[in-house]
Each structure stands twice: as structure tokens, then as C-alpha cells.
Structure 1
Amino acid sequence: MIAVLAVLLAFQLLGEAIAQVGHLPVPGPVIGMVLLFLALQWHSALPESLRTTAQTLLSHLSLLFVPAGVGVIQYGALLAKEWLALTIAVLLSTILTIAMTALVMHVLMHRNGADPSDD
């Protein structure tokens, strides 16, 4: 498990390095995840050790919400003060995400020859 965690952290580090050196607006862990995905596609099979480690990490995923909860409690007064701006930002970003997802899906379906109006 430690070797697999080292590999996962190495991909995250590589992604972070690429984001920093390239001055990219994409977070390093996202780049690392894409690189890991490409490496797994190239490998064509998911190693059992990676599967086991990933399942273990996913079973404890809820622990990652603890820092966010602490942040909400720590900055509660600031959140209460800026609630309108935060609400607008969340709503607009959600609407934009849904619209872009629908647009990308429409383009990809059209490119693959599927009729988007078919259900």
C-alpha cells in the first residue's frame, strides 16, 4: 500500500510541478490525476494493488470533509457577512457548469453521429 501511495503522490507532485512551471490555471493535483489516468490507459489494466489502495482511500473519503467543516466554523462570521456574494457565485458557477456540460455532451454526440434529439 505504501508503494502505491508513493506512486499517487508522485503523480500529484508531477502535476504540481507542471502547473507551477507552466503557470497553468489548473490545479496541480488535477493535472496529476489526468497523467495518472493516461498512464493507466496506456497500461490497459488496473493493478490490483492500486485497486485495493483506492478502495481503502475511498472508504475514508468522508474524513476529507473535516477540514472544510472546520473552515466553515472558523470563518462563520465572514461567511455570514458575505453570504449574498457567495450565494450568487455558487448559483452562477452551477448554472455555467450545467450549461457547459450540456454543450460538450451535445457536441460530442453530434461528432459521434448520434442524434441529440433522440431519446
Structure 2
Amino acid sequence: MYKGLTIIFGFLFIGELLSEVFNLPIPGNVIGMILLTFAFLFNVIKLEDVEKEAEFFIRNMSVMFIPPGVGVISYWGLIKSQAVPIFGALIVSFALTLILTAKFVELLRGGER
């Protein structure tokens, strides 16, 4: 268990460090996940080394949504006063993500079929 947690939190730390040192606009946890993905792809780390710990985090992921939920309740007045721009941005970003993902998958598959 310690090995898996050390690997996961080590990549998180490295990502945070790179983000802070190079003043990157990408969050450190995202950089850490990207680095961990490359470590899997290039067989630097085996999936079995972190599989149990990752499953534990996924099973308990709902706990991570409590602070944002409290934040939404705390700032409900502000959210309500800005509902149109917020929901407009959500709808546009959802549609854009859906279209770009579909085009990217189509590109990877070699064009239309």
C-alpha cells in the first residue's frame, strides 16, 4: 500500500513542483496525472503498483465533492445573480467539448466512414 501511495503522491508532488517553478497555467495535479500516464505508457511504472490505491480513491471520490457543494450553497446569491452568463458558458463549453472530442476521435480513426 505504501508503494502505491508513494507513487501517486510523488507524481502529484512533481506536477505541483513543475507548475510552481515554471509558473505554468496548468494545475499541478493535471501535470502530475499526465506524467503518471506517460510513466504507464513507457512501462516505467506497472499498473499493479497503484491499482488498489487508485480503486480506493475512486470508491471514495464522493467525499471530494463536499467542499464544492458547500461553496455553491454559500455563494448561491452570487451564482443566482450571474445565472445567465454561468449557464451560457456551461452550454457553450459543453457543446464545444462534445464537437471537438467527436472530431478528434474521427481524426484518430482515419476520417469518416
Q: What TM-score bracket applies, with the shorter chain setting the length? A: 0.7 to 0.9
The runs of 5 or more residues in structure 1 that have no matched partner are none
1:99 positional shift: 1.3
For 2:31, give the aligned amino acid.
Answer: I
Question: Percent of aligned positions with the same letter in both sequences?
Answer: 32
1:57-113 CA-partner distances (Å, limit 9, x unpaired):
111111111111101111111111110110011001101101111121121112xxx
Larger relative contact order (Cα-Cα within 8 Å, sequence gap ≥ 6)? 2
- Matching residue of 1:35: 35
**Amino acid corresponding to residue 19 of structure 2 in structure 1:** A
Q: What letter corresponds to residue 58 of structure 1 in structure 2?
A: I
CA RMSD of aligned residues (A): 1.7
TM-score using structure 1 length? 0.83
| Range 16-25 or range 57-66, more displaced | 16-25
What aligned pairs does 1:66-105 form with structure 2 within 5 A after superposition? Answer: 66-105=66-105
Task: List runs of 5+ in structure 2 lacking aligned partners.
Answer: none
Which stretches of structure 1, 4 residues or longer, exceed 3 Å deviation after superposition? none
AA partner of residue 46 (structure 1): L
Are residues 1:116 and 2:112 paired?
yes
